């Protein structure tokens, strides 16, 4: 018996496999009781029982007619200027961090992103990162649809480049620590909208099998570099049916949160129909997998012409839906914005929207 115990200890330490030969998966580790990731997942579950957290991409970094620089102190947002409240969820993008650049693809300094991530976490908010990585083969943008996924997996030169990119992101993730020197858990949403074809990882630019392998490989590379604070969110574009989910899903061991990105490209009526159908798919999947789900990207493509969109279109579809958060895209300029701002046509309606008891801004999360 003594020798059996010794052998078991050696197996555990060397291979990560228990004595009953069941492998400890990455997902099990991320949800281990008292881990920083499990605490965030528990918070998200609690939020969904009270309502849904509201967020915006780059919402505290810039807005209409203002822009923060690296070293700026304090948090502001267009939404706060309208309501007096900060968003509960802030999204940032890590595109160009793979090149070790100072600024991301939207000219936000990574130092500012890190600083604001720490501050948002201190205030009880949630941070979600997307990654519009450049095409590693063509050196074009994310929207350069030159095939690249297969090369990342099977061409050593491209794989080595991608590995360096993951290493650079790993350094950033491991630098996110709170006042107690503990890692800050963040949501990471890579390779999104894969069932569309506008990104190099999209459906016409790689096989479903290669997409799944890319996702798993990416997760394993972060694990290799000792990254412990990522909550992985899987988010297709508007799904036509459950097949759009199943075809690209990397597996429960590689995903923590389910999401979908839906905009009202085809008008509000179609948007509501698609939103209801897509969220019903996610709700079924979340119940099967015991994972939270979210509307990870959305927005009104006709902002400025619809004064009641928040309460008459968006809210009815989200009320009692079970989502844990919703994130609208960024306020880049007057011809490209998805949140409101002072003087904008829907600002009074957005203020009404945020006063509903189940719409949770940052101050509502305490």
Active site residue 297: yes
298 dihedral zone (left: phi>0; alpha: psi -120 to 50; beta): beta
Rounded Cα distance between 234 and 229, Å, is 16
Distance CA 18, CA 357 (A): 47
* Catalytic entry in 98, 193, 213, 344: 193
98 is catalytic: no
Contact present, 294 and 257 (Cβ < 8 Å): yes
Binding residues: 132, 198, 263
Q: What angle do CA 60, 62, 67 make, to 5 degrees?
A: 125
Looking at the DSSP bridge assignments, the partners of residue 299 are: 263
Binding residue ranges for substrate: 132, 198, 263
Q: Which helix (H) or strand (E) holds 122?
A: helix 110-122
DSSP bridge pairs for 262? 298
Q: Which two tokens stand for residue 64?
A: 């209409």
Cβ atoms 231, 185 nearer than 8 A: yes
Active site residues: 193, 297
């Amino acid at each position: 018996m003594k020798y059996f115990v010794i052998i078991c200890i050696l197996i555990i330490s060397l291979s990560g496999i228990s004595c009953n030969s069941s492998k400890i998966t990455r997902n099990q580790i991320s949800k281990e009781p008292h881990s920083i990731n499990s605490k965030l997942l528990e918070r998200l579950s609690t939020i969904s029982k009270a309502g849904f957290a509201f967020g915006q991409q780059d919402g505290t970094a810039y807005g209409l007619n203002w822009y923060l620089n690296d070293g700026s102190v304090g948090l502001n947002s267009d939404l706060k200027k309208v309501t007096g409240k900060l968003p509960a969820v802030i999204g940032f993008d890590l595109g160009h961090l793979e090149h070790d650049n100072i600024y991301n693809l939207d000219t936000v300094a990574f130092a500012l992103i890190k600083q604001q991530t720490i501050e948002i976490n201190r205030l009880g908010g949630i941070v979600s990162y997307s990654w519009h990585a450049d095409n590693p083969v063509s050196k074009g943008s994310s929207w350069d649809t030159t095939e690249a996924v297969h090369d990342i997996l099977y061409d050593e030169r491209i794989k080595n480049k991608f590995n360096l990119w993951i290493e650079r992101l790993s350094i950033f993730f491991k630098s996110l620590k709170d006042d107690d020197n503990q890692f800050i858990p963040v949501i990471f949403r890579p390779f999104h909208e894969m069932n569309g074809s506008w990104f190099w990882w999209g459906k016409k630019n790689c096989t479903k099998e290669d997409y799944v392998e890319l996702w798993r490989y990416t997760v394993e590379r972060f694990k290799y570099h000792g990254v412990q604070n990522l909550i992985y969110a899987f988010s297709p574009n508007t799904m036509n049916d459950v097949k759009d989910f199943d075809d690209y899903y990397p597996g429960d061991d590689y995903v923590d949160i389910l999401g979908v990105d839906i905009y009202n490209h085809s008008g509000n009526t179609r948007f509501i129909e698609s939103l209801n159908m897509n969220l019903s798919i996610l709700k079924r999947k979340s119940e099967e997998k015991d994972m939270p789900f979210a509307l990870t990207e959305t927005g009104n493509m006709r902002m400025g012409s619809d004064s009641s969109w928040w309460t008459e279109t968006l809210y009815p579809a989200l009320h009692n839906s079970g989502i844990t958060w919703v994130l609208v895209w960024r306020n880049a300029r007057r011809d490209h914005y998805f949140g409101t701002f002072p003087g904008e046509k829907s600002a009074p309606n957005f203020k009404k929207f945020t006063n509903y008891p189940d719409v949770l801004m940052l101050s509502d999360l305490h």
